[in-house]
Amino acid sequence: MRLQTRFFVLSLGLSLIVLAVVALQTSRGVGHRIDAHAEADLHRLVEVARFAVLRAPVTDDAFADELAEAMNVRVSVIDTDGALLGDSWLDEEALSKAENHGRRPEVVAAFRDGMGTDKRSSSTVGQPFTYVARRVDRPGKKPIVVRCALPSNEVQLESDAVTRLVFVTALVAIGLAVALSASAASSIARVVRSLTVTANRMASGDLSVRSGLRGTDELSELGRALDKLATELSAAMEGLRAETDLLSGLLEGMQEGVLVTDRDGNLQLFNRAIREMLLIGSDAIGRPISQAVDKAELRPLFDDARKKGSSVAELDLPGIKPRRVLVHASKLLGTRGGEVAVFFDVTEVRRLESLRRDFVANVSHELRTPVTAVRSAAETLRGAVESDPTSALRFIDMIERNAARLQACIDDLLFLSRIEAKQYNFNQEPVEASTVAAPVIALFRERAAARNVRLMNEANAMHPRVWCDPRALEQILTNLIENAIKYCPDSTVSVRSRIVDGRTRLEVADTGPGISAKQLPRIFERFYRVDPGRSRDQGGTGLGLAIVKHLVEALGGQISVESELGRGTTFLIDLPPVPAVLPSAAASVRPADVDASPAS
């Protein structure tokens, strides 16, 4: 039942009960009171009648009629024998036939006690009366009784009239009360309905809605409490949202992959890095880890973390970009349960470690050969110095050659490590390639002639200049030209320039034996040689091209190589163009300790 109806029915029910009680009480109370009043009046009137009897010379029926008319009640006069001397309600004839009144209770009581009352239906006139009788003691005469009586139905009529009036008044009042309470119930129901709508909107997430109640009643207070709740809830939600944003921003921004499972081993959360590493989508959320991620090794890792608190493993992840990851899994703290795993991409670290191992092995190998040669030459020299002075000179020569090789190797290694450590400060400026190439070519002219190599400077002085350190470019060209002379006898070697995509590209090309496609990708690796024996014979350290690549990249450029067996090799160098606005202090101070050029 609706609140308004309930209120209405309640107030109507209450009103009807009140009405019933009022009617009952009124009809009873008023009847009694009127009865009591009537009796009291009869007592007063009978007293008056006593005085009238005392003074009256005769007390006959006329006297009774006269008295009754004056007092507006029935008046009877009864003598000691019970004879009715007069009665205002009876005429002469009826009076003569009236039965003896000496046994009437009020008459008996009046003669005995002076006063008597009774209520009963009169057998004489046939209707109910209230009687009050009074003994009148007359000096020198027998006492008589004067009796006043009121018909009870008159009293009842009076009582009914009053009851009716009260009832009608109460009915009108109740009608008004019911109408008022119905209107109050309707206004309360309206407020309750509006509060319900507000609360429902709040519950469905709209925390901007307010009840807008301003009164001082309880419902307004409830509305204000609801508004306050929404304000506080919205502030708390805002704080929560900010925290969630921070957390998700943090997780998404992390390079490390983070993956969280619940206590049942189902995927709960993971970040962008994990998406890329494990190639999983957001539909994986809620699925068991063994189904969501196609990596069997993860399962024991999580089981271990659950049992021991934490576990670590290194895994290989296949894919377009294969990776090696170090995974730390640990139990989540708190009552929530579950595990968190952090994936560190160690691909580069492991690659560098492997490079370092190879490098150490290569360096040891490179150095061991000349050192062994020097030691054995020195030992042999000790014996031969007196016995065979001619061969002693040969050993000294061998020692010198290997020492020079050691020196060249160490110089190249140091130079490379300085470029890598960015200790080589470049002095970049607009450089015209042919100007730099000319002195280098001139320097190699004699050696080239000795190996029947034709050296050409074909760099076009009209091509845009490049943004470069001239000394570094000199070093690059020196290494490349020297290699070409070493490995390409009876050929033509040229330094050229070309415009590619509006920028100047330098090329060092030869018409030598070329390098096989299989070996070409490794040509810039440290200590990589196409023909190790031949390279060593030529005094090569295996570091020349590595130095060239490092220098070009440190200058902000790129180097590549094209080669065809039997047709020759071309090294292509793309250096940055001269910037539109030249930096004011582009030239930085070159440290004195890197002043020495390496020997290639």
Residue with smaller CB distance to ligand ADP, 107 or 493: 493
Please tell me the count of residues contacting ligand ADP according to CB under 6 A. Answer: 21
Residue with smaller CB distance to ligand ADP, 116 or 598: 598
Q: Does 370 bind ligand ADP (CB under 6 A)?
A: no
The distance of closest approach from Cβ of residue 304 to ligand ADP in the complex, given in angstroms and rounded to an integer, is: 48
Q: Does 541 bind ligand ADP (CB under 6 A)?
A: yes
The secondary structure of 35-50 as a DSSP string is HHHHHHHHHHHHHHHH
Window 554-573: contact mask with ligand ADP (x via CB under 6 A) = ---------------x----
Type of residue at 327: V
Residue with smaller CB distance to ligand ADP, 257 or 540: 540
Single out the residue of 157, 169, 176 nearest to residue 23, CA to CA.
169
Window 480-519: contact mask with ligand ADP (x via CB under 6 A) = ---xx--xx---------------------x-x--x----
d(CA 547, CA 299): 47
The distance of closest approach from Cβ of residue 486 to ligand ADP in the complex, given in angstroms and rounded to an integer, is: 6
- Taking each helix axis from N to C end, the angle separating 389-420 and 347-387, rounded to the nearest 10 degrees, works out to 160
Q: Does 535 bind ligand ADP (CB under 6 A)?
A: yes
Q: Does 540 bind ligand ADP (CB under 6 A)?
A: yes
Cα dist. 584→228, 425, 426, 468, 580 in Å?
A: 63, 16, 15, 15, 12
The distance of closest approach from Cβ of residue 425 to ligand ADP in the complex, given in angstroms and rounded to an integer, is: 24
Selected from 116, 338, 544, 557, the binder of ligand ADP by CB under 6 A is 544
For the chain, the residue count is 600
Q: Does 338 bind ligand ADP (CB under 6 A)?
A: no
Q: Does 530 bind ligand ADP (CB under 6 A)?
A: yes
SS3 call for 358: helix
Q: What is the four-CA torsion angle of 532, 534, 539, 542, rounded to 10 degrees?
A: -30
The distance of closest approach from Cβ of residue 384 to ligand ADP in the complex, given in angstroms and rounded to an integer, is: 31
Based on the number of CB atoms within 10 Å of its own CB, is 67 exposed (0-12), middle (13-18) or buried (19 or more)?
A: buried
d(CA 15, CA 8): 10
Residue with smaller CB distance to ligand ADP, 159 or 569: 569
Residue with smaller CB distance to ligand ADP, 338 or 540: 540
Piece of the chain touching ligand ADP by CB under 6 A; list 37-45, 335-343, 455-463, 530-538: 530-538
R_g (Cα) of the chain, nearest Å: 66
Q: Residues 318-357, buried b or exposed e (16+ Cβ, 10 A)? A: eeeeebbbbbbbbbbeeeeebbbbbbbbeeeeeeeeeeee
Single out the residue of 539, 599, 556 nearest to residue 428, CA to CA.
556
Q: Does 475 bind ligand ADP (CB under 6 A)?
A: no
Q: Does 599 bind ligand ADP (CB under 6 A)?
A: no
Binding residues (CB under 6 A) for ligand ADP: these are 483-484, 487-488, 510, 512, 515, 523, 528-531, 535, 540-546, 569
